[in-house]
Structure 1
């Protein structure tokens, strides 16, 4: 990382100094967030599925409802246990930078779309047109409402609370990013893609994605870019390009019979590098 990036990381990690930071608070906080997600998330999923109020998107809503318990948990722990504003998980500023979120979403979605087009050209027939407009539109509404919240929940936990907690022990940004990425990978090991496409290669995909998002948060000194990139990625998968055995069982414009995990990993690495070059080269130019 450059000197400017290291300074941004230090400033972001220092946001935790505004609250109470005993080691037992972070240990208890992580435990409460995890237990709240396992119990509260399971309850939210079951109740939503049993109520069946959302028609064709009911399972999608139920999955997202379970993840949103993470958002409730991390905000409650930060405010009550640590005595600081939940915004300190995101930014040192007094308000969120929505433009930065949209920038992250736009850049990452564009890169992912380029990779998808390249895959179609390299492997003709891998993608098939599958748009059923009547079935797709309810998913558009549900995804636009819920997916950004779901991604924000994961970002606040893994790149916000956990990263700042680890910052009390580690100060090197690279080490923080690696540990955070490993933690991000663990819950994703229960996704159906693991059984369908292989644990090692899919775990590598999740790890690289977690490493990318952590590096973006640390390099930018705030979380909005990472939230946007994460949301753009998941919206693209949910609404535009889906595949068999995806954790998102949604209607999409295109469908792939299967995911190519090796192609996914290679293009994920290339896209992450391109994202850093595009977004942060502009910021460096502004500071020179």
Structure 2
């Protein structure tokens, strides 16, 4: 195991890790997210079924409650700081977040341009200034909260917990990606385009996010990737039938699951290869430094 990977997974030792804490912790996070968080969504769907703005707000409200559940679990059950899910340093590396966002954003835009060149009738201009800017203000605030929360739960909490009982990083990454895939199978795209291809896409992006986190020994790259991916989808190139009910500049008449999966795998390989070329080692410290960086916050 690489030193930076060992260091990141070892941050779990700053807290309390009896098995029952994880059983209760997962149950509480799911309760906040899928029970308390879905109450406004169900109410809005019943009263205002055709209002995309309210639907978008309701979906994000459930994610905010997921974050609230995670904070309670980390502080009260595991007795360690939320920051330990991100890094062993005293603060997040925002430059690393920006690097991940910039690189993945460039790849995502290239993929969209290539798709337009291959299928020129697929995208159409859907820009409506009044509706777009109303949505954009909310998307720019809520989407980073949503994606960062998912990274804290599905990468940080899940992988550090798995690391207590599983040693091979590859297996940890695969299991984390599988866990990430499961709730996304509830998205409407799965019913429209088939579970196998859509599950493949969710698993692929989950595996990339897990792999870069373990390889980099910190969560910031994954936070940047996930945020820019959803921001571009919500504001620039959305598609009809998307789970994100936002106003985008361009809209695809349909989602092409085959193209999405192939292009996603190709972009993931390019991203990973670019950031982790052998001559650019990501680690700043060795695994022996683990407790010192954040121990004062854990007390």
TM-score (norm 1): 0.93
1:1-288 equivalences under 5 Å are: 6-46=2-42, 57-281=53-277, 284=280
Cα distance in 2, alignment partners of residues 102 and 48 from structure 1: 35
Tell me: CA distance 1:136–1:94, structure 2 relative to 1, closer, same or farther (3 Å): same
Cα distance in 2, alignment partners of residues 114 and 156 from structure 1: 28
Tell me: CA distance 1:48–1:104, structure 2 relative to 1, closer, same or farther (3 Å): farther
How far has the Cα of 1:78 moved from its partner? Answer: 0.8
Q: Which secondary structure state, in structure 2, belongs to the residue aligned with residue 117 of structure 1?
A: helix
Cα distance in 2, alignment partners of residues 96 and 103 from structure 1: 13
How far has the Cα of 1:50 moved from its partner? Answer: 8.7
How far has the Cα of 1:221 moved from its partner? Answer: 0.7
Cα distance in 1, alignment partners of residues 129 and 234 from structure 2: 14
How far has the Cα of 1:109 moved from its partner? Answer: 0.9
Q: Which secondary structure state, in structure 1, belongs to the residue aligned with residue 175 of structure 2?
A: helix
How far has the Cα of 1:125 moved from its partner? Answer: 1.0
Q: Which secondary structure state, in structure 2, belongs to the residue aligned with residue 190 of structure 1?
A: coil
Which segments of 5 or more consecutive residues in structure 2 lack a partner in the other structure? 284-299
How far has the Cα of 1:68 moved from its partner? Answer: 1.5
Q: Which secondary structure state, in structure 2, belongs to the residue aligned with residue 116 of structure 1?
A: helix
Cα distance in 2, alignment partners of residues 130 and 168 from structure 1: 48
Q: Which secondary structure state, in structure 1, belongs to the residue aligned with residue 189 of structure 2?
A: helix
How far has the Cα of 1:283 moved from its partner? Answer: 7.0
Cα distance in 2, alignment partners of residues 123 and 153 from structure 1: 35
Q: Which secondary structure state, in structure 1, belongs to the residue aligned with residue 276 of structure 2?
A: helix
Deviations 1:133-167 (A, max 9, x none): 11100111101000000001111110011111100
Tell me: CA distance 1:285–1:74, structure 2 relative to 1, closer, same or farther (3 Å): closer
Q: Which secondary structure state, in structure 2, belongs to the residue aligned with residue 128 of structure 1?
A: strand
Q: Is the 8 A contact 1:170 1:176 kept in 2?
A: yes
Q: Is the 8 A contact 2:53 2:245 kept in 1?
A: no
How far has the Cα of 1:282 moved from its partner? Answer: 8.2
Q: Is the 8 A contact 1:49 1:62 kept in 2?
A: no
Cα distance in 2, alignment partners of residues 274 and 246 from structure 1: 26
Q: Which secondary structure state, in structure 2, belongs to the residue aligned with residue 75 of structure 1?
A: helix
TM-score (norm 2): 0.89
Point out the more displaced range, 204-213 or 59-68.
Answer: 59-68
Q: Which secondary structure state, in structure 2, belongs to the residue aligned with residue 284 of structure 1?
A: coil
How far has the Cα of 1:97 moved from its partner? Answer: 1.2
Of structures 1 and 2, the one scoring higher in RCO (CA 8 A, sep 6+) is 2
